[in-house]
Structure 1
Amino acid sequence: MIKRVAVLGAGTMGHGIAEAFAMGGYSVSLYEPCESIRDRVKKTIRIELEYLADQEVIRFEEIGNIMDRIRLFDVMKNAVHDVDYVIEATPENLELKQKLFQTLDNLCKPHTILASNTSSLSLSEMMLHITPERKTRTMICHWYSPAHIMPLVELSNFGNLNEAVYEEIEKLYRRINKQTVKVKKDVPGLVANRIQQGLAREVFSLIEQEIASPEDIDKALKFGPAFRYATAGQLEIADMGGLDIWATVGDNLLSVMDNRQEASPILKNMVNQGKLGIKTGEGFFSYSDKEIELKKKKFNNKLILQLKTSQHYID
């Protein structure tokens, strides 16, 4: 049974993963080699926990215990030598992750399960330099951001994994109230990101063709398809609407929709201009310095409202 967890990387994803495990009652070793990130991560986590308490997701009196369950490390060996499960949330670089897995294979105990938060790199390639025995205890466990709020975790089951290990990890995530998806093939993007990119491709195309304003395109999504997606999946929606209707509409629309094989030119052009979204103050919309934190708070408010609501309709 998994009792001790280590998370490698305390950035955007890593600190949220550590936070989620600590909220679930687990002792977490959080490794971060960068001193500046390490110095501020505990403050970041506490602020997020206080916000969750404000929203009645957790109780204020729980915060101290949650914080105490997270231990920071600047030496990887010290963080992972006695844990049962390690998940890395390091930059999406194949060579980096290959070396990391090789190092972990040497540092960790034989029973330790290794996992990567990647959604774009091949598991078989990441495992290239680890032992055959460890390969049966290595997998992808891909979280969605923000990790301490979003329920989804995608779990790989590509044939290398011992089935008992898969079941153990699935139980682990259920114990911290995550919804798991079993991914059966090693494909880029896994499941959720592929669905999201298909939707995003058409949204960016509508902008490029000036068919509607950014505000109206987002409104069409929020109060149309996404309104249903909040409580139902695409296949359930198709069944409810009638598969004959979906087949007819598909025949009429798919041939005239965007099918390009790379990112939208309008998206690349904005990136080249330094318009990266809220992180730079301008993307498809503009954000003043005063608005940025408020926008982030409102965004998370909506996610938390949906998180609470989702507890009532989980099948």
Structure 2
Amino acid sequence: MIRNIAVLGAGTMGHGIAETFAMYGYPVNLYETSEKIKSSVMGTIKAELIFAAENGLVNKSEIESILNNITLYDDLKSAVENADYVIEATPEIIELKQRLFSEIDGYCKEDTIFASNTSSLALNEMMKNVSESRKEKMMVCHWYNPAHLMPIAELSYFGNMNEETYKNVEELYHKVGKQTVKVLKDVPGLVANRIQQGVAREVFSLIEMGVASPKDIDTALKFGPAFRYATTGQLEVADMGGLDIWCTVGDNLLSVMDNRTEANPILRQKVSEGKLGLKSGEGFFEYPAEKVEELKNNFNKRLITQLKVSKNYI
């Protein structure tokens, strides 16, 4: 049974992963070497928990005990040596992950399970320098951002581990409120990101062609396909509508839709202009500095609402 958790990296994803496990009573060792992140991460987690309490996701009285479940470390060996499950959320640099896994392989118990939050790097490459026995206990466990609110977790089952080990991790994720996706083949992007990129490619193409404004394109998605996708998967939608209809529409539309194999030029132009979205104050929409916190809270509030409702559709 998995009890003690270690999370490596306390940045955007890592702190949310640690927060989630702590919310469900698991003791979490959170490893981070950056002084800047270390000095602010517990304040970030506390602020997120207060916001979650204000929106009915946790009880305010639980916040301190949740925070007490998290212990910060800057010494890697101390952070992982007693862990049953270690997940890394470090930058997407294969050499970094290889070194990290190789190092902790010598610190951890024989039965400790290793995981990576990556959705773009190959598992075989990441576990290249660990022992043969450890390779049977390594997997990808990919979370979505923000990790403490998004209920999905993609779990790899690529043939290197036995069913019992997989089930052990799957049970852990179910206990912390995640809906798991069992991924059977190691492909870039896994499942959810590939689906998302398919939608994004056409959205950016519609902008590029001037078919509609950014606001209207987002409206079409939110109150069209995404309205159904909140509670219904694509394959069920197709079955409900009739596969013959979907086949005909596919024949009519797919040949005239975007099929490029690289990022859309309009997206690349935004990046070159420094228009990165919320983080820079402008992307496809504008984000005045004085409203950034309000806009982020509104975004997260919508996710919390969906999270509560989604429990009726499990």
TM-score calculated relative to the size of structure 1:
0.99
Which residue of structure 1 aligns with residue 91 of structure 2? 91
CA shift for structure 1 position 12: 0.4
Query: Which ranges of structure 2 fall in alignment gaps of 5 or more residues?
Result: none
Q: Distance in 1 between the 2:174 and 2:138 partners?
A: 19
Q: How large is the Cα RMSD of the aligned pairs?
A: 0.5
1:148-180 deviation per Cα after TM superposition (whole angstroms, max 9, x unaligned): 000000000000012211000000000111100
Q: Distance in 2 between the 1:306 and 1:131 partners?
A: 42
CA shift for structure 1 position 107: 1.2
State percent identity of aligned pairs: 63
1:80-130 deviation per Cα after TM superposition (whole angstroms, max 9, x unaligned): 011100000000011111111101111111111000000000000111111
Which residue of structure 2 aligns with residue 81 of structure 1? 81
What is the 5 A alignment of 1:239-278? 239-278=239-278
Which residue of structure 2 aligns with residue 65 of structure 1? 65
Runs of 4+ in 1 over 4 A off after TM superposition: none
SS at match of 1:227: helix
Which residue of structure 2 aligns with residue 309 of structure 1? 309
Query: Which ranges of structure 1 fall in alignment gaps of 5 or more residues?
Result: none
Name the amino acid aligned to 2:179.
Q
TM-score calculated relative to the size of structure 2:
0.99
Q: Distance in 1 between the 2:308 and 2:163 partners?
A: 32
Which residue of structure 1 aligns with residue 231 of structure 2? 231
Which residue of structure 2 aligns with residue 188 of structure 1? 188
1:174-208 deviation per Cα after TM superposition (whole angstroms, max 9, x unaligned): 01111000000010000000000000000000000
Which residue of structure 2 aligns with residue 208 of structure 1? 208
Q: Distance in 1 between the 2:218 and 2:150 partners?
A: 21
CA shift for structure 1 position 279: 0.1
Q: Distance in 1 between the 2:287 and 2:83 partners?
A: 43
What is the 5 A alignment of 1:153-172? 153-172=153-172
Which residue of structure 2 aligns with residue 219 of structure 1? 219
Which residue of structure 1 aligns with residue 41 of structure 2? 41
1:7 paired with 2:7, answer yes
What is the 5 A alignment of 1:90-129? 90-129=90-129
- Aligned residue pairs total 314
